[in-house]
Homo-oligomer: A and B are copies of this chain.
Amino acid sequence: MKRSLGARPLVFVTPTWIIGSYDQQGKPNMAAVAWGGICCSQPPCVAISLRKQTYSHQSIMTKKAFTVNVPSQRYVKEADYCGMFSGKTMDKFTKTGLTAVASDKVDAPYVEEFPLILECKVSHVVEIGLHTQFIGEIVDVKAEENVFNAKGVVDVELIKPVLFDPEARTYHGIGSFLGEGFSVGKTIDKP
């Protein structure tokens, strides 16, 4: 039996991502987002949403570029910090001790300490309501050497990404392997 909860932004799983951008003076900033996801395979694109009042919103509207930085779970405190304060009056890189690196391909900084980063150029801006959705074409993905497994593949178990639970407002790690995609379903009768 299902209970109705009304209209609300509640779903699982949502990510914990840190969005890197430069402001109009070139100061690097970080914003925490849980509202986002991949939205196209070709060209590869990722969508993130920010409130209009945020400092990063203004920066991304100006620079038309951002990075998506995936923290490993050892950086959950730094990620949370980025979601608590505005970069308008502070330098979050200095405060957290994280390192801003200029991206190769886009006009935005990435977080050196995080294991996986996406460099993105804004391709669409969708005004939805409280949030603006920025769709970014992913022009490069960079991963730390130590998150490639023996097969040479970026391994989620080495990255140890962080989930955000939007209902309890808590962070979780990733759990155990459940099965191979395009494979475990084969145990159900084929058409």
Contact = CB atoms under 8 A, between A and B. Distances in A.
Given A40-B9, A128-B124, A178 B174 contact: no
B12 A70 contact: yes
Contacts of A45: 9, 128-129
Contact of A81 (B13, B70, B73, B185): B185
Interface in A125-179: 126, 128-131, 133, 135, 137-145, 148, 153-156, 159, 161-179
Nearest to A101: B2
Nearest to A79: B185
Contacts of A17: 11
A5 to B, nearest CB: 4
6 contacts: A2-B143, A6-B140, A9-B40, A40-B130, A170-B180, A173-B174
Interface of A: 1-15, 17, 34-47, 49, 68, 70, 73, 76-85, 89-90, 95-96, 104, 116-118, 123-124, 126, 128-131, 133, 135, 137-145, 148, 153-156, 159, 161-189, 191
